[in-house]
Amino acid sequence: MKNVLYIGNNLKQQTANISAIGILGAKLEKEGFNLKYASSKTNKIYRLLDMLWNCFKHRKSIDVVLIDTYSTQNFYYAFCVALLCRLLDLKFIPVLHGGNLPMRLKKNPKMSQAIFKPAHALVSPSVYLKEAFESFGYKKVSYIPNSLDLEKYIFNVKDFQEVKLLWVRSFSKIYNPILAIRVLKALQDDNIKASLCMVGPDSDGSLEAVKQLAQTLKVSVKFTGKLSKEDWIALAKEYNIFINTTNFDNMPVSVIEAMALGLPIITTNVGGLPYLITHEEDGLLVPPNSVDAFVAEIKKLINNSEVSRNLAFNARQKVEKFDWNIIKYQWIDVLQ
């Protein structure tokens, strides 16, 4: 049995959806790995200190350290933890989550090298980041996609008598939630019967701006706040199109889940999304921040139910390859 220390933001709070550490860690435990976690501290300084302390405290009992690595402030957590792992001669594996990590490779090359060059391996949940890292000379990148427990996702065939849009993400500027409101307004101005439900916690204060815009534009939007996975999967049955409005992204689990549930996907073609979605085969890709492009693709879906259903069926077939019962063997190989 391997002993794994998993470093990431293991926060239990209402301002964030469950993070990678909370999903993958539990799955690895079920496969017989012995996991310890850091950190659940809310204060960022205490969180970093707790991460470092756990590396030191468990240095003699841990076989490998997993480090969730993002492109924003959490990049510096990964840098500090990687340096300590090197000092303690601990094997460590950065798990690449940040859709804007290629910018870090370019902007912070020395810090990036300090994290990624000495790593035992790198794990990327997207082909996009794997290729980006390889282009910078990092060759030890394993592509292991985000996984689902597929039996929990029942495929539902949708009808399109009216537009029922579903948006699932945390409310953050980088995910551009305001665009969803503008798309709804444009549809209604075009005399298309349309509604919108937005699911997720407020991450950076964007929720208030989104609500204010909805009020200003006089469109009614359902805001559910943060929901459990079970609750939003149940809610998804009521909707027929999933929109993803982000400006930066890697391989979002919410999009994969929507594909599994039978919701046709319309998403911006940023980051790892063109690697996940093949345009007009299992989803629709649009330029970022384009109301007109979203509206045009929504019209395409509601005016041709055969196209819509083919997209949904093809998407489900694609994500069946992401079932945990398949993906787990890749994680076992990396961690062994």
User: Within this chain, do residues 56 and 119 fall inside the same structural domain, yes or no?
Assistant: yes
Query: pLDDT value at position 98?
Result: 85
Closest CA to 23 of 34, 13, 9: 9
Choose the final residue of a domain: 112, 144, 176: 144
User: Within this chain, do residues 234 and 291 fall inside the same structural domain, yes or no?
Assistant: yes
Does any domain span residue 332? no
Closest CA to 288 of 333, 246, 332: 246
Query: pLDDT value at position 32?
Result: 95
User: Within this chain, do residues 236 and 270 fall inside the same structural domain, yes or no?
Assistant: yes
User: Within this chain, do residues 83 and 170 fall inside the same structural domain, yes or no?
Assistant: no
Neighbours of 285 (CB within 10 A): 20
User: Within this chain, do residues 113 and 74 fall inside the same structural domain, yes or no?
Assistant: yes
Virtual CA dihedral for 279, 275, 27, 150, nearest 10 degrees? 20
d(CA 147, CA 320): 9
Query: pLDDT value at position 49?
Result: 97
Virtual CA dihedral for 254, 94, 142, 29, nearest 10 degrees? -70
Query: pLDDT value at position 13?
Result: 55
Low-confidence residues in the chain, pLDDT < 70? 1, 12-18
d(CA 261, CA 166): 12
User: Within this chain, do residues 104 and 180 fall inside the same structural domain, yes or no?
Assistant: no
Choose the final residue of a domain: 94, 113, 144: 144
d(CA 29, CA 101): 28
Query: pLDDT value at position 16?
Result: 53
Query: pLDDT value at position 129?
Result: 95
Does any domain span residue 335? no
Which structural domain range is residue 235 located in?
150-321
Query: pLDDT value at position 155?
Result: 97
Does any domain span residue 258? yes
Choose the final residue of a domain: 144, 177, 196: 144
User: Within this chain, do residues 132 and 167 fall inside the same structural domain, yes or no?
Assistant: no
Query: pLDDT value at position 22?
Result: 83
Query: pLDDT value at position 19?
Result: 73
User: Within this chain, do residues 244 and 169 fall inside the same structural domain, yes or no?
Assistant: yes
Query: pLDDT value at position 73?
Result: 86
**Which CATH number belongs to the domain containing residue 56 in this structure?**
3.40.50.2000
